[in-house]
Structure 1
């Protein structure tokens, strides 16, 4: 159901909460290098994002890429966990997104491996949005059928 490329794109967009600049491009390059991922591999991952991938078999280096991007984007607290207030300061988030972030944090903030934590948080947020979209679509369909 999930696509690793899509998750990495989401992680990159989280880093780009601030206006996109050369500095953020450097973040991506630094994180790719520190996780031994070439630009070509990353582009291939993005290009494959429309294909189904087995999310549970995601390579560790891609999980660590997500944590690195969040760290470089100053989205984490001093313990390496997502800092919702910091994100809200950088770019105000909707009440819905804030609730989703806090719900996901409740589930995953005990994870000791920070790469796994970042990866699971992105999956949780993505799952929550997909669930909300499905729920909303069902509500709209039911209204049409009334």
Structure 2
């Protein structure tokens, strides 16, 4: 119980910290060049993430598409705040499992001033960790 409260507090503080830093963004709409997409299209992009993505070679249009999708799933608002509580509460994301990853990813991208670069970087960092963990757990079997 105490550990659960600590992890939730730690993740919440990290989310608040993200919001404070990202609130310095000049408002940008990452979806301005996207006319919409279906839930199936969004899921396909998010689930079929490449394992060896060269982030430096990804163009801004794609980064903004990912930022738009992250916003679509209500993980990131227009001020740059990350919102995961509903996913934690629904059991979709295990807060114990992702707390360390989120803190590490946040530290990597905390100085990013562009919402498309920030959202893409955070999501890519999180997905890479998930892919690595998935591959290492498959090797154990």
Task: Write the deviation string for residues 16-57 of structure 1: whole angstroms up to 9, x where unpaired.
Answer: xxxxxxxxxxxxxx93xx225787xx89x96xx698875432
CA distance in 2, matches of 1:55, 1:104: 14
Q: Is the 8 A contact 1:37 1:61 kept in 2?
A: no
- Residue of structure 1 equivalent to 2:69: 69
TM-score, scaled relative to structure 1:
0.51
The answer to whether structure 1 residue 131 and structure 2 residue 100 are counterparts is no
The answer to whether structure 1 residue 35 and structure 2 residue 33 are counterparts is yes
CA distance in 1, matches of 2:74, 2:81: 11
CA apart distance, 1:106? 2.7
Count of paired positions: 104
- Residue of structure 2 equivalent to 1:113: 114
The answer to whether structure 1 residue 85 and structure 2 residue 91 are counterparts is no
CA distance in 2, matches of 1:57, 1:80: 23
Bigger RCO of structures 1 and 2 (CA < 8 A, at least 6 apart)? 2
TM-score, scaled relative to structure 2:
0.52
Structure 1 unpaired stretches of 5+: 1-29, 141-146
Compute the RMSD of aligned alpha carbons. Answer: 3.7
Q: Is the 8 A contact 1:84 1:101 kept in 2?
A: no
CA apart distance, 1:131? 1.7
Q: Is the 8 A contact 1:63 1:115 kept in 2?
A: yes
- Bigger Cα Rg: 1
